[in-house]
Amino acid sequence: MQIITPETLEALALALTSLPVGKSVSVTANDFKKLTGDDLTNFAAEGRFMIGNLSARTNCTVVTTDKLVIFTKNQHPNFHSHTG
């Protein structure tokens, strides 16, 4: 897993968009604070919501620890509708 150091949330979004399926990258707690203004350990912080929304838009699963935010690219979503 590679640690990336994006300068902006837009740069992070671009990196996550181009991430190959099944691959993971992470951002350190320090970079999380630079990107969002919030401490990673503050669970209710707005920054966590921003990162959650970003991961959803880029089709990634996100896992946080007290030191890292780990993004893993998901398979393409299944667009088949289920009617019943």
Task: Give tens-digit pLDDT for 45-66.
Answer: 898 899 999 999 999 999 999 8
CATH number 3.30.110 given to 2-73? yes
pLDDT at res. 45:
82
Query: Which candidate, 66, 23, 28, 32, places its Cα nearest to that of 52?
Result: 32
pLDDT at res. 77:
62
pLDDT at res. 63:
94
Residue with tokens 């990634």: 60
The residues of the chain scoring below 70 in pLDDT are: 77-84
**CA–CA gap between residue 76 and residue 23 (Å, rounded):** 13
Query: Which candidate, 44, 46, 40, 48, places its Cα nearest to that of 65?
Result: 40
